[in-house]
Each structure stands twice: as structure tokens, then as C-alpha cells.
Structure 1
């Protein structure tokens, strides 16, 4: 995918996308953004097949009680795709990464 520098670029782009989205930003109101960026970078490294491990909380622990809707989840995926596009990640790589991340969906919705 491009190594740690590319992962960091995607994460920074994603935070920027969230920051300017009035629908998704409220979900991050109580979030330690530095920790989010660190743990999301770990996750992306794992999902991209990198030599790393995820040391954060489970998706259920992080998203429990947030009542994330299908529409808001899908919008967040769109923001993530925007972040990858801005980082010039090829669409074939984006598709593989999103496919590896799909199992987290059920761990975030309806909790």
C-alpha cells in the first residue's frame, strides 16, 4: 500500500474528512484524536498486511452505545474512500483494504 508514511497520510486525510462533515463529527466529540489516529493507523497496517499488531480496544468497546446508523456508517466509509483517494491509493488497493475491513461493520452497528 505504500508503507507507514502512506498509512499516516490516509489517517490524517480521514480525520480531515471527519472534521468537515457535520453528520459524522459528533460521533468523535469525546474522542482523543491523537489516540484515534495512532490506533487507526495500527488497524490499517494490520488490514494491509503490514508487520504490525493492533493494541487498541475492541470495536465493540469503542463504538458501543454510539447507536451508529447504517447511513452514517456508509457515509464514514465514503469519507474513508475520499481519504484514500487524496492519498493516491489505487482503487484496486482500496477495494482489497475495504474488503479486509468489512468484518468490523457488524462490530460497530447496533451496539
Structure 2
């Protein structure tokens, strides 16, 4: 009986150690500080870090960003079309094509390429 208790205790200790190690090494799935109000902005870093550039969601014209953005948040009723070339030109950076990114209302995103321009769709 004593041997069974020792094995059970050892197994419990090993399981606890594994759980503790896993919790320590696990990275949060979404370690992003999200806003708590109606805002839309681009950021120079991924995960909404770095310098912010505000979006006027009432202006539906094409806007070039002052610096390339790696992420953005849109917690408004508007949708935002994001482009990887200046002048709201579609395509991968420096190439023609039909690629753009649709940042929907109440969403945030890290972009596959640096965002260079955008247009509010309404």
C-alpha cells in the first residue's frame, strides 16, 4: 500500500510540475491592448504597438499613411480598405495586382505587408 501511495504522489507531483511549466511557457493568444471606445487607427508595430495614426471615418477619400503600418484597429461602424501601395493602388508592395485588405468594423489586424494607404468605405 505504501508503494502505491509513493507512485501516486510521484505521478501527482510530475503532473503538477508539467502543468506549471506549461502555464509558464505558454504565450497568450492575444496579448493586445484593445481600445474601449469608438476609434480607428493604424500603428507602426504589430499587435497595435508603436506610433498611432488616427483615421477620420467620415472622410472617404484615399489617404497615404505618413509611415508604413503593421497593424490597425477599427472599433467604429465603418469599414476600411487597406492598401500596400501608395495612392490606394491594389497589389503586393511595388507590384500591380488586386490585393488589398478589408478591415471590417469592430476588428483589429496585423497586416501581411506594411500598409501604406487606406480608404474608408462607410
Pairwise TM-score range, normalised by the shorter structure: under 0.3
Rg larger in structure: 2
- When you count helix as a share of all residues, which structure comes out higher? 1
- When you count strand as a share of all residues, which structure comes out higher? 2
